[in-house]
Structure 1
Amino acid sequence: MTESTYITYSLENGVATITLNRPTVYNSFNREMALALQQHLRTCANNDTVRAVVLTGEGKAFCAGQDLAEATGPESLEISEIVVQQYNPIILLLRQLNKPVIAAVNGVAAGAGANLALACDIVVAKESASFIQAFSKIGLIPDSAGTFFLPRLVGMQRASALMMTGDKVTAREAVEMGMIYKTFPEESFAAEVQALAQKMAQMPTKGLAYTKQLLNKTFQHSLEEQLKHEAAYQQQAGQTLDFKEGVEAFIQKRQPNFTGQ
């Protein structure tokens, strides 16, 4: 694994918590942090004891996007190369990870930081958090799949306005427009995130993975094509041990004990 002080990682009770750890620069990405995040996501994908992932930030911010000091330094890569080498792999790893990923947005999420959150399966935020498509403020275009996910979440007109104006969206507004799932008060945020993550870790992991794979494909397919894919994935889900356990628990009127198998 790529070792870095810029990412902290823990695994407890099936929940892997990945924390962006550059709080003095609002957890903005340098190359080391981006590559370390990629490696931690690969580790989560390959570790069967990981049943859910939480992605969050240390300190007051979730992530302020790219560290511009590094991106504009004398030995820096072209902006396009930074996107290709650092951000695009992260987004693909998040979407291909066959486990639920929760973005726990603890503060401002700006630029690539905002779009990193929106690429996750479930986004929750502190009531004081905010989201900013900050790219237009420095003459860039939204990357990290922002132009893919945001229009699908909030509609083309609103996505266009947010990306072109760079206006701040409060966490409450983000919920109202369908950008994120829920907000939690400051004092209960950590406990609420942990409860949600534990719930996801105790769910039928393969069934959730099949659901995620179907959602990844839904905008590519016609209705007829999506129905065929649903049938194929349902066949796979029906062969899991968790399906058998779920049915037995339902008949016996008890809580199921899913193992992710």
Structure 2
Amino acid sequence: MTDAVLMEKLEDGVCRIVLNQPDSLNTLSDAMVEGLKLAFEQAAADSKVKVVVLTGAGRAFCAGGDLNIIDGSMGLMAAREYVFKVAELTRLIFHIEKPVIAAINGFSMGGGLVIALAADILIASSAAKFGLAFVNVGLIPDIGGTYLVPRAIGIQKAKELVFTGQMIDAYEAERIGMITKVVEPDKLDETVNQLASQIARGPSIAIGLAKYMLNRNLNRSLDEAIEDEAFAQSICMQTKDHREAVIAFKEKRKPKFSGA
């Protein structure tokens, strides 16, 4: 792990990953990208981690690409490889079979917004600002932006924000479906931690498979989705958590999930 990224594994099964270059508004420097990849790889491999919280230090979540790297001097192949390298981070967040909650503490711009949208639940401070500012520097949304943005807010609104590069506040982001919830700045950590802890106490195998199915079936037919669900559900039905929940229901008590 680099100083650009902090990782804290909490006792209740929640892992907190912090983008930690506040002086640069947590832009996607090489150190930031590599640190985030390593953190998510470690979280994915750790069976004790049930939920990941992703947030930023200072007044930004992530202000997007590092213009010291994306400075117009890259050749065609180098630029293509750079995008693939950063996009691996989007893939890790999207595909990890553990819920990821993005706690948006401030500016979430360009590639930083794309990374946030790869998470499963986005809770934002009322002080947060959002923008797909790629057009302002003569670029298109990348690292998964053209996939994630229209799925979050619809194709027409996505085109408006992409074509104009305009910035919106947290309440507008909530209204259009870009984020899940807005809270006051002093309530952000408390709100996110409560939700993360609640999910972490749940049946983690079922939750992980539910995430996989919801993401996978965005682009599949109903029949394909039903086939996938039948396979995943048959796995869930073999788990100790499922058996515990059935017993708890019959005994009229809350189940105690173990993640097995």
Structure 1 position 219, deviation (Å): 2.5
CA distance in 2, matches of 1:254, 1:170: 43
CA contact 2:14–2:49 (8 Å) conserved in 1: yes
Q: Tell me what 1:79 maps to.
A: 79
CA distance in 2, matches of 1:132, 1:231: 39
Q: Tell me what 2:66 maps to.
A: 67
- 1:5 corresponds to which letter in structure 2? D
CA contact 2:123–2:181 (8 Å) conserved in 1: yes
- State TM-score, norm by structure 1: 0.95
CA distance in 1, matches of 2:121, 2:221: 25
1:87-142 deviation line (CA, Å, top 9, x unaligned): 21111111221110111100010000000000001111001112100100000010
Secondary structure of 2:97 counterpart: coil
- 1:224 corresponds to which letter in structure 2? D
Secondary structure of 1:128 counterpart: coil
Structure 1 position 204, deviation (Å): 0.8
CA distance in 1, matches of 2:88, 2:127: 29
- Where do 1:231-246 residues align within 5 Å? 231-246=230-245
Query: Displaced runs of 4+ in structure 1, greater than 3 A?
Result: 73-79
Q: Tell me what 2:17 maps to.
A: 18
Secondary structure of 2:68 counterpart: helix
Q: Tell me what 1:195 maps to.
A: 194
Cα–Cα, structure 1 residues 241 and 73, in superposed 2: closer, same or farther, change >3 Å?
same
Structure 1 position 188, deviation (Å): 1.1
Q: Tell me what 1:254 maps to.
A: 253
Cα–Cα, structure 1 residues 75 and 138, in superposed 2: closer, same or farther, change >3 Å?
closer
Q: Tell me what 2:171 maps to.
A: 172
CA distance in 2, matches of 1:22, 1:81: 24
CA distance in 2, matches of 1:172, 1:25: 25
1:6 aligned onto 2:13: no
CA distance in 2, matches of 1:69, 1:249: 57
Structure 1 position 56, deviation (Å): 0.3
- State TM-score, norm by structure 2: 0.95
1:150-177 deviation line (CA, Å, top 9, x unaligned): 1111111100111110111211111111
Structure 1 position 75, deviation (Å): 8.7
Secondary structure of 2:130 counterpart: strand
Structure 1 position 71, deviation (Å): 2.9
CA distance in 2, matches of 1:176, 1:254: 38
Q: Compute the RMSD of aligned alpha carbons.
A: 1.6
Q: Tell me what 2:93 maps to.
A: 94
Secondary structure of 2:98 counterpart: coil
Which segment drifts farther, 54-63 or 93-102? 93-102
Secondary structure of 1:123 counterpart: strand
Q: Number of matched residues? A: 258
CA distance in 1, matches of 2:79, 2:158: 23
CA distance in 1, matches of 2:72, 2:134: 19
CA contact 2:123–2:188 (8 Å) conserved in 1: no
CA distance in 2, matches of 1:36, 1:247: 41
CA distance in 2, matches of 1:141, 1:114: 13
Structure 1 position 202, deviation (Å): 0.8
CA distance in 2, matches of 1:171, 1:250: 40
1:32 aligned onto 2:48: no
CA distance in 2, matches of 1:101, 1:187: 21
CA distance in 1, matches of 2:6, 2:192: 17
Which segment drifts farther, 219-228 or 125-134? 219-228
CA contact 2:109–2:131 (8 Å) conserved in 1: yes
Query: Any gaps of 5 or more consecutive residues in structure 2?
Result: none
Query: Any gaps of 5 or more consecutive residues in structure 1?
Result: none
Secondary structure of 1:59 counterpart: coil
CA distance in 1, matches of 2:259, 2:105: 29
